[in-house]
Structures are given as structure tokens and as C-alpha cells.
Amino acid sequence: MRITLLLLSLTLSVLPSMATAQHTSDYKIAVCDWMILKRQKLGAFDRTAEIGADGLELDMGGLGNRPTFDNKLLDPIQRRQFIDAAERTGLEIASIAMSGFYAQNFAEREGIERIMDDCINTMQLLGVQVAFLPLGVQGDLVKFPEKRAAVVERLQLFGKKAEAAGVVIGIETALPASEEVELLEEIGSDAIKIYFNFQNPLEAGRDLYEELKTLGRDRICQIHCTDTDGVLLEHNTRIDMERVKKVLDELQWSGWLVIERSRDKDQVRNVVGNFGANTRYLRSVFQE
């Protein structure tokens, strides 16, 4: 009896550390449908399965001069096909992306409320918690600080809508992490977080690992875990991925690592080759 109680006591004493280990190792790997050349196409699921990732970041579709995204996912018949494809392949939908804003002006775009509503509606219909919003070239607050007030005002509105829907909008900016913290405080919504992209601090010559620490666990909703195109992740000498994992573990962050770029510059259209290799490498670091 005394031995049994002793064993029970020892088991209970290690449970917190076991829970922490489980939490900090809970990383999932996804790819972007537009980067695997399957934007809003059902074939994205089979291709992602071939690549070997855990999930897919689905794009809202083209934007251009349309009133809103060219979004098939709001059509109930087509949406059912996407849900069935996810179930058939055993893949998760990691997030919804508004990649159209890479080239569009979020600060000045007309009809922005309809765009916001369409995004949140799509998220709710698919049961997705995170949407990706890049502020893009025209919304670069480093180059165009005069747009900050308009961007903040619109993100405050988006935040209120997202809060009401119980979802999160992850923004990608060109700002240093310390200034992103200030931006989030100015927006003042728990539903607006940072969608961190390794490429941004690396291109700007900033310390990737310190940026992660500055933002902290609760300000980062998802991560584009890649650099610019050039070499595969395993050959990229300016990212120490083991160190990235160590920092994220220390922050007790967990979630989706989404592969966007880091393609071999000599084979940029070799989708399965590039994204398959990057997926296997990230699995070896974060999941094994």
C-alpha cells in the first residue's frame, strides 16, 4: 500500500512538467494553397497530402478591382466539397488568408467592411480560428507612416467584428517587433495579433530570435516559418531552426508553422520537391 501511494505521489509530481512538454512540442506544419499553385482549388488537399504537411492555409481568392474577394468558399456547394476534401485527406484548415492585400491598399481600399465581413463569415462557416492579413507593399508602415492612423482605425473595426465572432485576425507588418507591440496596444483588441514572418526581420537585418521574444507567446497567432526564395530551409544559413524552436519552447508557444516560401531558386515551380523537403525538415526539428 505504501509503495502504491509513493508511486502515485511520484506520478502526480511529474504531471506539470509533462503537460509543459506536451504544450511546447505541439507544432503543426501547413502550406499555403496559393504557393503550391492551387489557390482555392480542391486539388490543394491532395497536393498537400503528397507534400506531407498537416494542414493547409486556404486563400480567400483574388481581389483586384472586385468589390470583395473571388471567394468560392461562401458558396455552400463548393464549400462542402472543400470540407469533404479535408476530411478525405485527413488534413486541417490551419487558417484563411487574405493574400490579395499583399498588393492592395488596406488603409484606403473602398468597401472594406464587406471584405472584413466576408472573411469572418468564411472563417465561421469553415470553423477556422485565424485569418492572415498582410498589410503589404502599400500598407508598409515603415515606408508610409502617414497611413498608420487609417490602418489602426480599420483594424480596430476589424477587431470588434472578430471579437464578436470569436476569431483572430493575424496581421503581417514590416515594423520591428517592439513597434508591433505598440501597434497592437494602439489597436486595443485581443482579436488582432501578429502573424509572424521570419522573412521580415531577416531581410531588415534584425534579430529574428529577439523579435520572437519581444512579441511573446500571446501576441503571435501563427508563423510563416520561411525566408525568401533561394535555398531550402535546411540549407538556409541565416536561420538556426533549432534555436527558433528553443525560443518558442521557452515562450511556451504552440500552433501552426506555415511554409510560404524558401523554394530552391533553380526549381521554384517544383512544388512537391520544395515544399516536401521543407516539410520534412520542419518535422525533423519541431515534431521529432
Question: Which residues make beta-bridge pairs with 32?
Answer: 57
SS (H, E, C) the chain: CHHHHHHHHHHHHHHHHHHHHHHHCCEEEEEECCCCCCCCCCHHHHHHHHHCCCEEEEECCCCCCCCCCCCHHHCHHHHHHHHHHHHHHCCEEEEEECHHHHCCCCCCCCCHHHHHHHHHHHHHHHCCCEEEEECCCCCCCCCCHHHHHHHHHHHHHHHHHHHHHCCEEEEECCCCHHHHHHHHHHHCCCCEEEEEECHHHHHHCCCHHHHHHHHCHHHEEEEECCCCCECCHHHCCCCCHHHHHHHHHHHCCCEEEEECCCCECCCCCCHHHHHHHHHHHHHHHHHC
pLDDT at 16: 35
User: Parallel, antiparallel, or unpaired for β 168-172 and 130-134?
Assistant: parallel
Contact of 224 with 198, CB cutoff 8 Å:
yes
CA distance 209 to 129: 26
Q: Contact 253/217 with Cβ under 8 angstroms? A: yes
Q: 43-51 vs 76-89: helix axis angle to the nearest 10?
A: 20
β-strands 27-32, 255-259 pairing:
parallel
Question: Residue 4: CB partners within 8 Å, gap ≥ 6?
Answer: none
The amino acid occupying position 65 is N
For 189, phi and psi rounded to 5 degrees?
-130, 130
Residues in the chain, overall count: 288
Instruction: Report pLDDT for 288.
Output: 85
d(CA 161, CA 216): 24
Q: What is the mean pLDDT of each run of 10 residues along the chain (288 residues)?
A: 40 36 67 97 98 98 94 97 98 98 95 97 98 96 96 98 98 98 98 98 97 98 98 98 98 98 96 98 96
- What pLDDT score was predicted for residue 7? 39
This prediction has a pTM of 0.90
Residue 255: how many CB atoms within 10 A of its CB?
18
Domain boundaries, the chain: 23-287
CATH architecture of 23-287: Alpha-Beta Barrel (3.20)
* CA gap 249, 87 in Å, rounded: 30
